[in-house]
Amino acid sequence: MPAKILDGNALSKQLRTQIATNSAILTAKGTKPGLAVVLVGNNPASQIYVRNKIKACHDANIHSELISLSENATQEELLSVIHGLNDNSSIHGILVQLPLPSQIDSHAVLESIDPEKDVDGFHVANAGALMTGKPLFIPCTPYGCMKMLESIDYPIRGARAVIVGASNIVGKPMAMLLLQAGATVTICNSKTKDLSAHTREADILVVATGKPKMILAQMVKPGAVVIDVGINRLPDGKLCGDVDYDEVKYVADWISPVPGGVGPMTITMLLQNTLEAAQHFHQKK
């Protein structure tokens, strides 16, 4: 029996309907949620992601602004745009699309965003708050993964969770969220010895490495929930995850596909964070 599908499209559709309703309610009260998306340069993947985010805002009754800067933009130009958005009362969320061109210090840019508008949750104030269990915004991708587990009522308390990948935007916050939900968590990185020994222990396996199909069927515990965050483009143009989906689906109980799994959930949680940012703003008016 193949695994059941963690369908990010279906879950997103359900959550986005709720977000659109709540956005319309807040708009009627006088605050239309607003998201600014800042894109620097011509990275084709970034352009697609940004386009999808803008469209999703439109469908969810969220105002959006796209600010595009050239590939040669300076750090000062970008910081000046962000300072303007920090002061703009019709914008409640600011997202700077990563990666940024090499002349720009990404860390300094992310730190320049007002933490109350940091809907990506990448500012150190939000990352620190996540560590202590009281985040203002949860980074969208791990937030989406948690929603997927919630959607199947997965008993996280006491489960063994293994995260493969330890980036600041996915692996580390994912580990924190699972730990806070009561899982026993292991985080693996590229230096981990005998990776399979860890992954085979996992009741919940989350993979975010950017290495196409690196998780093979024999690395997965029978009955596990496998969440594949990776998005990789193969030479034939097709997308695939970091998990060998066609084989692993015969071992796992639940599996998220690529595309149609974590990708749409990430955008959904961006909309949710933007709505929450606007709600905070409205309460303080």
Instruction: Single out the residue of 142, 104, 102, 103 nearest to residue 122, CA to CA.
Output: 142
Distance CA 263, CA 239 (A): 11
Among 12, 199, 209, 272, binds ligand NDP (CB under 6 A): 209
For residue 53, indicate whether it is catalytic. yes
Residue 229 lies near ligand NDP (rule: CB under 6 A): yes
Distance CA 219, CA 252 (A): 11
Interface segment toward ligand NDP; rule CB under 6 A; list 86-94, 162-170, 174-182, 276-284: 162-170
Among 180, 211, 216, 217, binds ligand NDP (CB under 6 A): 211
Instruction: Single out the residue of 81, 28, 34, 9 nearest to residue 271, CA to CA.
Output: 34
What is the number of the residue whose Cβ is closest to ligand NDP?
Answer: 167
Distance CA 99, CA 75 (A): 14
Residue 165 lies near ligand NDP (rule: CB under 6 A): yes
Among 15, 63, 263, 276, binds ligand NDP (CB under 6 A): 263
CB of 99 to ligand NDP, least distance (A): 9
- Between the alpha carbon of residue 65 and those of residues 23, 115, 190, the distances in Å are 16, 19, 38
Catalytic residue among 117, 118, 120, 203: 120
- Between the alpha carbon of residue 60 and those of residues 46, 91, 109, 168, 281, the distances in Å are 21, 15, 27, 28, 18
Q: At 61, list the tokens.
A: 């009754």
Judged by CB under 6 A, the number of residues near ligand NDP is 26
Q: Print the binding letters for residues 125-154 with ligand NDP: x by CB under 6 A, - otherwise.
A: ----------------x-------------
Residues at the site binding ligand NDP, with contacts judged by CB under 6 A: 141, 164-167, 169-171, 188-192, 195, 208-211, 214, 229-232, 262-263, 266
Query: Would you please indicate which residues are annotated as catalytic (active-site) residues?
Result: 53, 97, 120
